[in-house]
Amino acid sequence: MMKEKFKVAVAQMVSGTDVPANLATAARLVREAAAEGARFVVLPEYFCLMGRQDGDKVAISETFGHGPMQSALAAMARESGVWLAAGTLPLTCPEPGKVFNTTLVYSPQGEVKARYDKIHLFGFTGNGERYCESDSILAGATPVKVDIGLAEVACGICYDLRFPELFRTLSPFDAMILPAAFTATTGEAHWEVLMRARAIENQCYVLASAQGGTHENGRKTHGQSMIIDPWGKILAQVDKGEGVAVAELDPELLHSVRSHLPALAHRVLN
């Protein structure tokens, strides 16, 4: 569990169709976060590619442990000396024409310390929009919590936000990460309230790193990357466009919230 104060950062992007350009942007934002003192940095979902069609991410998918995107991520962590939650990238899966949508967590030495494959797959139809992640993504099956040395961190990705039972299975933890690419429609209505709810009910910090703008493929994402404390207070955020939000996590605040309102200890149903 968390024993000392430390700074964290969430990086917001407006990723396009050029993978090398997206990787360069991610590396620049990681460097900016490290320069501001962040020791743990979270990139957004689909940071490496917001393609024009579903098959684009399948075409660039890598085998776990191999490939230029994973090499670039390891280098980002090493060069900036940070723990890095690498948003999501497409990794090969057993089902043809599909990928896993995966978060990898790298140590400051560039080693993978955790892998989480997105469990809940987004589907939405309305306002002239249609999204069906299961068309090109194979769902994961295993909840993941990782000890980054500084804190215990629960992993979630975007649509997972709407399923609080996922995080209850991992409780307690100091912080949760949520790389996302929330649509403008659903984000405007639900993003902030759901994020703050997850922080309050799990009495943890939330690090939500999002896509935020209009992409080359015409998709509009909500943005509002945030760092939220265990009382539900937003400590730092980025509204739209590229940027980095940095805040300090404090174990004393975490202990205070849990001791004054011991809701986690009062749980009856598991």
Q: Give yes or no: 188 in active site.
A: no
Tell how strand 38-42 and strand 83-85 pair up. parallel
What is d(CA 163, CA 198) in angstroms, rounded to the nearest whole number?
A: 10
Q: Is 127 exposed, middle or buried (0-12, 13-18, 19+ CB in 10 A)?
A: exposed
In the set 118, 145, 152, 204, the catalytic residue is 118
Report the candidate in 32, 74, 34, 68 with the shortest Cα–Cα distance to residue 49. Answer: 68
* Residues 24/58, Cβ–Cβ less than 8 Å: no
Residue 7 has phi, psi (to 5 degrees) of -90, 145
Instruction: Tell me which of 32, 45, 62, 152 is the catalytic residue.
Output: 45
Nearest to 248 by CA among 3, 9, 2, 1: 9
> Which residue pairs, CB below 8 angstroms and at least 24 apart, start in 92-96?
92/61, 92/62, 92/63, 92/64, 93/138, 94/138, 95/138
158 is a catalytic site residue: yes
> Can you tell me the distance from the alpha carbon of 237 to that of 244, in angstroms, rounded to the nearest whole number?
8
Q: Which entry of 48, 155, 158, 204 is annotated as an active-site residue?
A: 158
Q: Which positions are catalytic? A: 45, 118, 158
